[in-house]
Amino acid sequence: MLRKRVVPALWALLTCTALQASTNAAMNVDAAKLAAVPDRTRPINSDMDRADTLGGRLSISWNDDLLHDLGLDRVGALRGKVNQDRELRRFELDAKTAFAVDAVDLNVRGLAGGEGRLLATEQFMLRGARLKWQDPHILVRPGAEPRIDLVSGNGEALFYIDRIMYEFLDQGRIFSIRSADIHISTLLAKKMRNAGAADQAVGEIKMQAPVQNWIAAKVIRAAGAPYWPGMAVTDQIGAPLGSTWQADVFMKVFSASYMRCGTCDANNLNCSAGGCDGPLNPGLGKVVFAPSSTLTNNRNRGSASSL
């Protein structure tokens, strides 16, 4: 699956490109489960390969304007920047940080587990008090829609990650999260006294982690031997005689998330963050919503009506 913020005109082009796997929004985790230790890494599926990573790097691009609008200010943030100008905060993963990744033919099929530590320090101002977020523990909650909790030293998960777009690079030597959303947790929203802030996406995550070990359920298909549209299906059990690989891409989910707003002057210039409308120029506020879609490749099975 592929989840990426794109404009409608680009969707048609996706049928001709290689697709990265991705996930929908994670399922809600109740307070009792959130406090509990996540399930152990899932057993290896005999139909899939398993890649184990160790260490790596992670970067965060915070939406500081949205954080401010919600009542949380990151110390040192420069607000009012467009996405391309946002500061990219780069951090190391602890050397023992490990992810277990399920795959078929070097295509990611899901996260089977993982944990570790992000060597990061961020400070936020909340109602005049300083909130320190330091070296959070990474806990993967595997499932149909996986979620990665970022748990502080006191056991509080202030942020979590979902909507993960992932792939393997360098012929399976690197596990890459091309893009994922970082959200405010329900717990942090309570601290902010803003229930509406819960589950808001307030930044983007990118990550790369070296693969240390492969456990192959079968011979891994070489990265340079893709299934091109129109090729005969010769290695899939149960495929009807004469079947060919297709490149059909179907949209499963579409949503839009509030990102920022600001007030502009009468000429729609000099827009500033922090105010959505007026009072000097009522009706001239600007608001930005980011579209998000989840696409799936049918992998030569099913149809749009059977998804």
Walk along the chain (307 residues) in steps of 10 and give the mean pLDDT of each run: 38 34 54 51 81 96 92 86 66 96 88 94 92 93 86 91 91 93 94 94 95 77 63 76 74 75 62 59 70 65 47
Domain range for 54: 19-215
- Determine the pLDDT at residue 226: 65
The Cα 21–Cα 3 span in angstroms is 8
CA angle 168, 166, 224 (to 5 degrees): 30
Return phi, psi of residue 14, to 5°: -70, -20
Token couple for 150: 């970022």
Q: Quick check: is 85 in a domain? A: yes
122 assigned to some structural domain: yes
| Residues 6 or more apart in contact with residue 271 via CB below 8 angstroms | 262, 263, 264, 286
Our CA angle for 175, 180, 183, nearest 5°, is 140
Contact 23, 125 (CB under 8 A): no
Whether 146 is in a domain gets the answer: yes
280 lies in some domain: no
| Residue 45: per-residue pLDDT | 78
Cα–Cα distance between 281 and 126 in angstroms, integer? Answer: 29
The residue whose two tokens read 């602890």 is 94
Asked if the structure places residue 260 within a domain, the reply is no
pLDDT at 305: 47
What was the pLDDT predicted at 90?
94
* This prediction's pTM: 0.67
pLDDT of residue 307: 44
Is 223 within a domain? no
Q: Which single residue is written with the structure tokens 């099929």?
A: 109
Domain total in the chain: 1
Residue 6: its pLDDT value, please?
37
Residue 91: how many other CB atoms lie within 10 Å = 15
pLDDT at 259: 76
**From CA 62, how far away is CA 69, in angstroms rounded?**
13
